[in-house]
């Protein structure tokens, strides 16, 4: 885990050097501040401001709550002070930079490969940069579930159960795999920290994680699935694990 932390800080150091405004904390500084919160709570289990990291299984558990049950969405998870709290199902108190660091510590690798695999030739590409591949094949592919208490029972469902396609009124069958693309770092800094965008249902390079489902280039395509979502303000845990191969 310590070696992974060093690599995680190093992989963003060169990018943070591009930032020109000295009054803004760069990505390396933000990551170093987040690192100070990391604690080993038991052998192989770490805590990062409430995020639980299991080194052996690469499982992350992020504390969240239900913000909206019924609405058009562009995001599945944002920070509680983010710009898109009116378009998300889940919110969290955990800062985006801490989510990014936790993913890096668990040996996930940010890359856009797979994000536009289902884009039709006639569709406009939502970003111009060429896609990047992780050093380890598949290391940017995630499975995401949501867990909560319902009386004496514990419920756990795929995050996709909370989302439906507005055209078909069904949960997308190809939304079981999410892409850890990593948020953009530019002259303004680590974008997700400024916008609060963590998991996006349509392609948003400022978000840390994006949907790879067909139609992910359309921001109006996604709405919540109220029947599957617990009551607003319910405390839930977002669980990230490696996607099935």
Does residue 165 sit within a domain? yes
Question: Is the Cβ–Cβ distance between 134 and 168 less than 8 Å?
Answer: no
Structural domain including 50 reads 2-117+139-242
Return the residue matching tokens 């108190």. 93
CA distance 30 to 35: 9
Does residue 128 sit within a domain? no
Structure token digits, residue 44: 């192989």
Does residue 144 sit within a domain? yes
What residues contact 162, with CB distance under 8 A and at least 6 apart?
A: 76, 89, 146, 224, 225, 228, 229
Residue 141 has pLDDT above 50, yes or no: yes
Give the single-character DSSP code of 243.
Answer: P
Does residue 130 sit within a domain? no
User: What is the per-residue pLDDT across 28-47, written as a single tens digit (0 to 9) for each?
Assistant: 787 788 778 899 999 999 99
Does residue 227 sit within a domain? yes
Question: Is the Cβ–Cβ distance between 118 and 174 less than 8 Å?
Answer: yes
CA distance 209 to 115: 10
Does residue 134 sit within a domain? no
Shortest CA distance to 240 belongs to which of 102, 33, 47, 88?
A: 102
Does residue 182 sit within a domain? yes
CA distance 189 to 185: 5
Does residue 69 sit within a domain? yes
Residue 134 has pLDDT above 90, yes or no: yes
Q: Say how many domains are in the chain.
A: 1
CA distance 203 to 197: 11
Residue 67 has pLDDT above 70, yes or no: yes
């Amino acid at each position: 885990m310590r070696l992974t932390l060093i690599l995680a800080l190093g992989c963003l150091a060169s990018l943070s050097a591009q930032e020109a405004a000295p009054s803004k904390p760069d990505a390396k500084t933000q990551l170093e501040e987040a690192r100070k919160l990391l604690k080993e709570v038991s052998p192989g289990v770490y805590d990062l401001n409430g995020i639980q990291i299991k080194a052996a299984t690469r499982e992350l558990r992020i504390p969240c709550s239900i913000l909206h049950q019924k609405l058009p969405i562009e995001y599945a998870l944002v920070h509680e002070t983010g710009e898109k709290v009116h378009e998300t199902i889940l919110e969290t108190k955990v800062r985006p930079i801490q989510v990014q660091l936790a993913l890096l510590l668990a040996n996930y690798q940010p890359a856009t490969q797979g994000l536009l695999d289902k884009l039709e030739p006639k569709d406009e590409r939502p970003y111009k940069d060429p896609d990047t591949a992780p050093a380890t094949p598949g290391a940017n592919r995630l499975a995401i579930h949501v867990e909560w208490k319902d009386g004496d029972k514990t419920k756990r469902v795929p995050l996709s159960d909370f989302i439906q396609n507005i055209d078909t009124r069904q949960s997308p069958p190809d939304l079981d795999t999410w892409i850890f693309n990593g948020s953009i770092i530019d002259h303004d800094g680590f974008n997700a920290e400024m916008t609060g965008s963590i998991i996006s249902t349509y392609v948003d390079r400022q978000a840390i994680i994006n949907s790879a489902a067909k139609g992910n280039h359309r921001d109006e395509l996604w709405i919540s699935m109220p029947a599957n979502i617990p009551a607003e303000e319910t405390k839930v845990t977002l669980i990230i694990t490696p996607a099935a191969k």
